[in-house]
């Protein structure tokens, strides 16, 4: 077991920081070690903007989503004025998790001793505390969290000193503005339990080298063109004829998003925004993979998908959309299984770092970003 200082020794990562075609991927223990995982929680997930959901999931006041960032429980809730807020999902009495799942509530009521918090986090009821010396409800509101949104995507940051979300995104929004995300509505979220490290999943999504092998029967090959990047992300364009969200069958796909320019009509955007969302936007829909670490060797993967409001209003939507869901379920199952198999292999004491192909430049981009966060002062 390595100490924090040993884990932060730059010598372990020198080969990761070389140019992609000279580099190695991260040492195998970065995908298995408890200490390295704790370092990532502290230096990555507690420092940067983490995706936590789409605003359209909480359309009305009182709608909430109890979720987590790398196991840290949080509440996302729309208040009476219509603003979406985030709070620590820990009761200010003795810490109990307040809400689970998703739903609508008029107040956030703790299941343990019934303390009740308003939708703005204020403690409004704490029966039985009348004799407690110096107790003032005003001092016991829920812990608020920084929440900012871009195009309906919600992000939380635990670090009071961090810059704005828009600074963090860099030029990512410029690449996908034509998809008109505020007009796209989430229609499904599917949750998968995958026995792999969170970086193994992110790396898988950021390389096209595996597509002709792992997705041979389902997707076929896809040739990716890397995008120039400014911000905490990396991404590629892939021709739409290779990336149609519907599997090749006789079904006529939905019409394209009305606002697209020629660029988006020709190529789909595949964007990995570190640390926990992989976003794909294509001509008629979008989907995302939200990566929720559950320790060094497990993730909960939430695959969300959405369509323009006009498409959802079509009479044939419920029927045709099943073809899209089938495509996603098929390809995600293929990725999940190979990621689990990779995890078994890197967990071996005999595993060694490997070299990368041209089609794996995205793996190096992910690994390089991780190393920069781990080594930052
Ligand atoms: S722990 Fe929440 S009311 Fe007691
Ligand atoms: Fe894949």
Which of 70-74, 248-252, 350-354 has the least mean pLDDT?
248-252
Ligand 1, pocket-test mutation among 75, 87, 96, most atoms within 8 A of CB: 96
Give the tokens for residue 228.
């120039």
- Which residue has 């079904």 as its token pair? 251
Average pLDDT of the chain?
Answer: 95
Please check the confidence at residue 243 and state whether its pLDDT lies above 90: no
| 267-273 β-sheet, strand order | 184-194, 299-308, 286-293, 277-281, 267-273, 233-239, 224-226
Which ligand is located closest to the Cα atom of residue 206? 2
Of all protein residues, the one whose alpha carbon is nearest to atom 3 of ligand 1 is: 113
**Digit-coded pLDDT (tens) for 115-154:** 999 999 999 999 999 999 999 999 999 999 999 999 999 9
Q: Is the CB of 110 under 6 A from ligand 1?
A: yes
User: Is the minimum distance from the CB of 126 to ligand 1 under 6 angstroms?
Assistant: no
Burial of 118 (0-12, 13-18, 19+ CB in 10 A): middle
Report the candidate in 270, 256, 264 with the shortest Cα–Cα distance to residue 331. Answer: 270
Going by pLDDT thresholds of 50, 70 and 90, the confidence category of residue 179 is: very high
Q: Which mutation among 87, 99, 113, 117 tests ligand 1's pocket best, with the greatest number of atoms within 8 A of CB?
A: 113
Q: Given pLDDT bands bounded at 50, 70 and 90, which one contains residue 240? A: confident
Q: What is the atom index within ligand 1 of the atom nearest the CA of 126?
A: 3
| Protein residue with least CA distance to atom 1, ligand 1 | 94
Contact 84, 67 (CB under 8 A): no
pLDDT digits (tens, 9 = 90+) for 270-299: 999 999 999 999 999 999 999 999 999 999
Residue 83 CB neighbours (<10 A): 12
Locate 188 and state its tokens.
């499904």
Ligand 1 within 6 A of 288 CB?
no
Site to substitute for ligand 1 among 89, 107, 108, 110, most atoms within 8 A of C-beta: 110
Residue 248: is its pLDDT beyond 70?
no
Question: Given this model, what pLDDT does residue 247 score?
Answer: 63
With the most atoms of ligand 1 within 8 angstroms of its CB, the residue from 115, 116, 135, 140 to mutate is 115
**Please, how many CA atoms are within 13 Å of residue 275, restricted to the half-sphere of its CB?**
30
pLDDT single digits (tens) 308-324: 999 999 999 999 999 99
Task: Show the DSSP H helices in the chain as ranges.
Answer: 4-7, 34-40, 165-169, 172-176, 198-205, 211-214, 240-243, 262-266, 309-312, 317-346, 361-375
Domains of the chain plus CATH, in order, are 50-161 (2.102.10.10), 177-375 (3.90.380.10)
The response to whether residue 117 sits with its C-beta less than 6 Å from ligand 1 reads no
331 CA to centre of ligand 2 in angstroms: 6
Tokens of 276: 């926990």
**Would you say 330 and 184 are in contact if contact means Cβ atoms under 8 Å apart?**
no
| pLDDT at res. 231 | 86
CB 94 near ligand 1, within 6 Å: yes
pLDDT score, position 245: 67
**DSSP-assigned beta bridge partners for residue 77:** 64, 85
- Residues bordering ligand 2, an ion, CB closer than 5 Å: 335
Question: Are 72 and 50 a contacting pair, CB within 8 Å?
Answer: no
Backbone angles phi, psi at 53, to 5 degrees: 150, 175
CA of 203 to the centre of ligand 1 (A): 41
Indicate if ligand 1 lies below 6 Å from the C-beta of 96. Answer: yes
For residue 114, the ligand 1 atom closest to its alpha carbon is: 3
93 Cβ inside 6 Å of ligand 1: yes
Task: Calculate the alpha carbon distances from 122 to 107, 138, 158, 281 in Å.
Answer: 10, 7, 20, 39
Is residue 111 lining ligand 1, measured as CB closer than 6 Å? Answer: no
pTM: 0.96
Share of the chain above pLDDT 90, in %: 91
Q: What is the number of alpha carbons within 13 Å of residue 82 lying toward its C-beta?
A: 0
Q: Is 108 in the pocket of ligand 1 (CB under 6 A)?
A: no
Ligand lying nearest the CA atom of residue 342: 2
Residue-wise pLDDT tens digits, 195-214: 999 999 999 999 999 999 99
Is residue 56 within 8 A of residue 374, CB to CB? The reply is no
Sign of CA dihedral 241, 245, 250, 254: negative
**Per-residue pLDDT reduced to its tens digit, 47-78:** 999 999 999 999 999 999 999 999 999 999 99
Residue whose CA is closest, atom 4 of ligand 1?
113
CA distances for 332 relative to 221, 292, 294, angstroms: 15, 15, 19
């Amino acid at each position: 077991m390595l100490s924090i200082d040993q884990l932060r020794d730059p010598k372990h990562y020198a080969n990761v920081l070389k140019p992609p075609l000279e580099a190695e991927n991260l040492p195998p223990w970065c995908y298995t070690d408890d200490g390295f995982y704790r370092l990532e929680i502290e230096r990555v997930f507690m420092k940067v903007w983490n995706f936590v959901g789409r605003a359209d999931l909480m359309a009305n006041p009182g709608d909430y989503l109890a979720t987590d960032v790398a196991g840290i429980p949080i509440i996302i809730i729309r208040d009476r004025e219509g603003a979406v807020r985030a709070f620590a999902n820990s009761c200010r009495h003795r810490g109990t998790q307040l809400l689970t799942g998703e739903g609508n509530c008029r107040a956030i009521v703790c299941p343990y001793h019934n303390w009740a918090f308003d939708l703005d986090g204020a403690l409004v009821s704490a029966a039985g505390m009348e004799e407690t010396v110096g107790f003032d409800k005003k001092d016991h509101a829920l812990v608020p969290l920084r929440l900012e949104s871009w195009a309906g995507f919600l992000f939380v940051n635990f670090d009071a000193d961090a810059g704005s979300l828009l600074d963090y995104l860099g030029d990512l929004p410029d690449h996908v503005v034509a998809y008109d995300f505020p007009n796209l509505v989430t229609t499904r979220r599917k949750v998968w339990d995958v026995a792999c490290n969170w970086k193994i999943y992110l790396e898988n999504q950021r390389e096209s080298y595996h597509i002709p092998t792992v997705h041979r029967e389902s997707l076929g090959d896809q040739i990716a063109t890397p995008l120039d990047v400014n911000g905490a992300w990396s991404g590629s364009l892939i021709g739409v004829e290779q990336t149609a969200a519907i599997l090749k069958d006789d079904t006529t796909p939905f019409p394209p998003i009305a606002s697209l320019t020629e660029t988006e009509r020709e190529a789909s955007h595949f964007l990995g925004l570190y640390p926990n969302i992989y976003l794909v936007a294509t001509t008629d829909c979008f989907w995302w993979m939200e990566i929720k670490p559950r320790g060094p060797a497990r993730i909960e993967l939430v695959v969300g998908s959405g369509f323009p409001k006009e498409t959802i209003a079509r009479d044939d939507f419920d029927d045709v959309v099943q073809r899209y869901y089938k495509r996603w379920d098929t390809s995600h199952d293929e990725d999940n299984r190979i990621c689990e198999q990779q995890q078994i292999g890197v967990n071996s004491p005999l595993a060694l770092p490997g070299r990368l192909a041209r089609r794996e430049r995205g793996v190096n981009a992910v690994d390089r970003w991780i190393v920069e966060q781990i080594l930052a002062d």
